[in-house]
C-alpha cells in the first residue's frame, strides 16, 4: 500500500498584545514609513509574561486537531521547530504533549531558525513514510521578543511572536495525489555569522545579530534555487503552482519570489504586514489563515519555502 503524509489540520496562535510601528517609533529612532518601505511590516504581536513558546504551541496544536477532527490521544509524535524554547530542556514538544494530553506521542524540538518549519515538515514526512508514525503534529513556535535588542532599530522592528501548527496523517494514496510530494533541505554553515543568536552562556546573553543586506542577497538566490529544485523534481513549471506560502521575513523577498513564479498577488499568502517575522511559526501561521478563510482548499498545489540563520533553507511541495 502506498502511503503519503497528508496535511489534514491547521491551527495558529497570536499573542493578545499588538505593537504597531507607531508605538515603536515612540521608543526608538524609527518611523512607520521607514519600517514599511523596507519590510512591508505595519505591526507585530508580542507575548506577555503568561504566553510562552509551549503555551502558544499547545494552543495552535489544539486548533489543528480540532480542524482535522482528531483527538490528541491519537497523535504519535510532536515535532516543534523553535529557536526560542522556554527551557533548555524539557523540550517545548513534551510540554505540549502534556498540555494537550497526547500521552502516547514522542516529541522533540528542532532548531533551524526561520526555515525550521520546513525542516520539521520534512522530518515528520520521513517518519510517516518509514511507517514509524501515522499522525504527527508539526509546530513552529517562537518568542523572538525575548532575544531582541530593543534599542537596535535594524532588528527589533522585524520580528514578532506566535505559533502555527499542522497535523500530518498517513493516508493511502488511492490515486488522489494528495499529501507532501517532496521536501528539499539545504544548509551552509560558512554563512552562519550573517544571522545568529548568541548563546545563553555568552556574556551578552541570548541576543539576535544580523547583517541584513547579506541575508537579503542570499535569501533571493537560495530560495530561487530551492523553488526550482521542487518544480524540477516533479517535472512541473511555475504556472502549475496554485499558491505560494513563503516564510514571512520581508515583503520585498516575497514579491521577488512571486515574480519568479509569475504568480499574481492574489495567489501569494502574505501575513508579514500584520505578523512581522515570526521565524519558524510564520509559514504555518500563514497557511492556517489561508486555509481557514477558504483561499486554499483541498486539491490545491502549494509551495512553501523559507530561509533562516545557519544559513538553512528549503522548500516543500504539498497538495492539500
* pLDDT the model gives residue 230: 94
Residues 135 and 193 in one domain: no
Q: How far is CA 221 from the centre of its chain?
A: 20
Euclidean distance between CA atoms 62 and 255, whole angstroms: 32
Among 130-139, 258-267, 271-280, the range scoring the smallest mean pLDDT is: 258-267
Domain of residue 60: give its range.
3-172
Residues 212 and 149 in one domain: no
Residues 38 and 156 in one domain: yes
115's CB contacts (< 8 A; 6+ apart) are: 185, 247, 280, 306, 307, 308, 310, 312, 313, 314
- Grid coordinates representing 296 are 486554499
Domain end (from 172, 207, 224):
172
Residues 203 and 265 in one domain: yes
Residues 130 and 210 in one domain: no
Residues 159 and 183 in one domain: no
Euclidean distance between CA atoms 173 and 193, whole angstroms: 43
- Calculate the average pLDDT of the chain: 94
Euclidean distance between CA atoms 236 and 231, whole angstroms: 5
Residues 291 and 187 in one domain: yes
β-strand partners of 206: none
**In the Cβ-directed half-sphere of 96, how many Cα atoms lie within 13 Å?**
40
* pLDDT the model gives residue 301: 97
Residues 299 and 198 in one domain: yes
Cα Rg, the chain, nearest whole Å: 18
- pLDDT level of residue 36 (50, 70, 90 thresholds): very high
Residues 150-186: tens digit of each pLDDT: 999 999 999 999 999 999 999 987 767 899 999 999 9
The fraction of the chain above a pLDDT of 90, given in percent, is 81
Output helix, strand, coil percentages for the chain, rounded to the nearest 5.
40, 30, 35
Residues 136 and 267 in one domain: no
CB contact at 8 A, 159 and 148 = yes
* pLDDT the model gives residue 62: 98
Look at the block and give the residue holding cell 499574481.
Answer: 264
CB contact at 8 A, 75 and 54 = no
Domain end (from 172, 192, 215):
172
pTM: 0.95
The phi and psi torsions of 59 (rounded to 5 degrees) equal: -65, -45
Among 69-78, 91-100, 171-180, 230-239, the range scoring the smallest mean pLDDT is: 171-180
Residues 114-140: tens digit of each pLDDT: 999 999 999 999 999 999 999 999 999
Strand pairing category for 243-246 and 208-210: unpaired
48's CB contacts (< 8 A; 6+ apart) are: 15, 16, 17
Domain end (from 137, 172, 207):
172
Average pLDDT of span 273-294: 98
β-strand partners of 161: 143
Euclidean distance between CA atoms 94 and 106, whole angstroms: 8
CATH number at residue 127: 3.40.47.10
Q: Active-site residue numbers?
A: 114, 247, 277
Q: Which residues of 208-221 are buried (b: 16+ CB within 10 A; e: fewer)?
A: bebeeeebeebbbe
Residue 88 has pLDDT above 80, yes or no: yes
Euclidean distance between CA atoms 72 and 93, whole angstroms: 13
Burial of 38 (0-12, 13-18, 19+ CB in 10 A): middle
What is the tally of structural domains in the chain? Answer: 2
Residues 15 and 161 in one domain: yes
211 or 280, which is more confident: 280
Length of the chain: 320
Euclidean distance between CA atoms 25 and 41, whole angstroms: 13
CB contact at 8 A, 80 and 141 = yes
Residues 78 and 166 in one domain: yes
Residue 310 has pLDDT above 70, yes or no: yes
Euclidean distance between CA atoms 86 and 63, whole angstroms: 21
The beta strands (E) that lie in the chain are given as: 3-13, 17-20, 43-46, 77-81, 106-110, 135-143, 161-172, 179-187, 195-197, 208-210, 243-246, 301-308, 312-319
* pLDDT the model gives residue 254: 94
Of 103, 192, 196, 93, the closest CA to residue 141 belongs to 93
Residues 22 and 166 in one domain: yes
Euclidean distance between CA atoms 47 and 17, whole angstroms: 7
Amino acid at each position: 500500500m502506498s502511503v503519503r503524509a497528508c496535511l489534514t489540520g491547521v491551527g495558529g496562535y497570536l499573542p493578545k498584545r499588538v505593537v504597531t510601528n507607531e508605538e515603536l517609533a515612540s521608543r526608538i529612532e524609527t518611523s512607520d514609513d521607514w519600517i514599511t518601505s523596507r519590510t512591508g511590516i505595519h505591526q507585530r504581536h508580542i507575548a506577555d509574561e503568561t504566553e510562552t513558546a509551549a503555551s502558544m504551541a499547545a494552543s495552535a496544536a489544539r486548533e489543528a486537531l480540532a480542524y482535522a477532527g482528531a483527538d490528541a490521544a491519537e497523535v504519535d509524535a510532536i515535532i516543534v521547530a523553535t529557536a526560542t524554547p522556554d527551557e533548555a530542556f524539557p523540550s517545548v514538544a513534551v510540554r505540549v504533549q502534556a498540555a494537550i494530553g497526547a500521552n502516547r506521542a514522542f516529541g522533540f524540538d528542532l532548531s533551524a531558525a526561520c526555515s525550521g518549519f520546513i525542516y520539521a515538515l520534512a522530518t515528520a514526512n520521513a517518519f510517516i513514510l518509514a511507517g514509524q508514525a501515522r499522525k504527527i503534529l508539526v509546530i513552529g513556535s517562537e518568542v523572538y521578543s525575548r532575544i531582541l535588542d530593543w534599542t537596535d532599530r535594524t532588528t527589533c522592528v522585524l520580528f514578532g511572536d506566535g505559533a502555527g501548527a499542522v497535523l500530518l496523517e498517513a493516508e493511502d494514496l488511492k490515486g488522489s495525489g494528495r499529501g507532501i510530494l517532496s521536501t528539499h533541505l539545504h544548509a551552509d554553515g560558512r554563512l552562519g555569522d550573517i544571522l545568529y543568536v548568541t548563546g545563553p552562556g555568552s556574556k551578552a546573553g541570548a541576543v539576535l545579530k544580523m547583517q541584513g543586506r547579506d541575508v537579503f542577497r542570499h535569501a533571493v538566490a537560495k530560495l530561487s534555487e530551492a523553488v526550482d529544485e521542487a518544480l524540477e523534481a516533479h517535472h512541473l513549471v511555475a504556472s502549475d503552482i496554485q499558491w505560494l506560502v513563503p516564510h514571512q521575513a520581508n515583503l520585498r523577498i516575497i514579491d521577488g519570489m512571486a515574480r519568479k513564479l509569475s504568480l499574481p498577488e492574489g495567489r501569494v499568502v502574505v501575513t508579514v504586514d500584520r505578523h512581522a517575522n515570526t521565524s519558524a511559526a510564520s509559514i504555518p501561521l500563514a497557511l492556517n489563515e489561508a486555509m481557514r478563510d477558504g483561499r486554499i482548499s483541498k486539491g490545491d498545489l502549494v509551495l512553501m519555502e523559507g530561509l533562516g540563520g545557519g544559513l538553512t533553507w528549503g522548500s516543500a511541495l504539498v497538495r492539500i
